[in-house]
Structure 1
């Protein structure tokens, strides 16, 4: 057999036994947040808005403040005011004290703890599954502008930074 014919034969056998090229996989982008319960409703907050999650710390009451200001806590040498998020929104809490957690939010030089009914861990949603919020208590409307749908459930996104910048949040004195 001529050397060129031999090369053609090798090339033909290689093509016939070659695997197909890998399929192109569509890239899915995800939004990640911290899931939590508040007044019987599940929410998610942007991961970058939550500095840490704590069990409710020992609190020192502060006189002359609104009822939803639970007090201040010493968290690793820093004084952190802790607010009852459901109380601030005028909603009843639907959890016992053991399941409650504090979401610590840092914004600039300010650190605030927000008491929620429970933390549901990190949640991940495909960005193309963003939907408009519906059927939410009007108290949430100011701080929830979008939601993600997963497994037939909607997860409203609670804007914690919008909350801590809101005038009603900043007016804590009675």
Structure 2
């Protein structure tokens, strides 16, 4: 009687995962732990005396969610295609906010070795929140919502 041989060991490829999204013509990925949920763009109430990138406040399951136009914050144009827009919900320290982006691509997985800290040219306004890049057909910039949520200019919403 012969025992079956053990299956050959395949080298496991370590991967990194995050939520993929588009802002303008660029692709971004946010670390999984930094996005609480992804919503369709909710109805919101406009707020007086706030900067143009503050869209308003929405009631999400009984909790007031300030909704921000992430593209507008960075001086980019938000897509006119409302159906594709999504809101990334960030709940970090004292900040609970929704970041409206052009489109969300769901979970994205990248081989860890595809990561680089050498960034392609990016807008100066976005650069402090980019912690690296994963290379595929196009670069996927690693965007940190937590870094944005603690940035003083983002917290300063009033005129």
Other structure's SS at 1:35 match: strand
Q: Work out the CA distance in 2 between the residues paired with 1:127 and 1:30.
A: 5
TM-score of the superposed pair, with normalisation by structure 1: 0.84
Please tell me the root mean square deviation across aligned C-alpha atoms, in Å: 1.7
Return the offset for 1:145. Answer: 2.2
Task: Provide closer, same or farther for how the CA distance between residues 110 and 121 of structure 1 changes in structure 2, counting only shifts above 3 A.
Answer: same
Aligned length: 158
Mapped contact 2:59–2:65 kept (Cα < 8 A): yes
- Trace 1:111-130 onto structure 2 (pairs within 5 A): 111-130=96-115
Which has the greater radius of gyration?
1
- Trace 1:87-98 onto structure 2 (pairs within 5 A): 87-98=72-83
Which is bigger in relative contact order (C-alpha 8 A, separation at least 6)?
A: 2
Q: Work out the CA distance in 2 between the residues paired with 1:47 and 1:162.
A: 14
Corresponding position of 2:18: 33
Mapped contact 1:130–1:146 kept (Cα < 8 A): yes
Return 5+ residue gaps in structure 1 as ranges: 1-9
Render the CA deviation track for 1:106-142: whole Å, top value 9, x for unaligned: 1134310000001011100011110222132222211
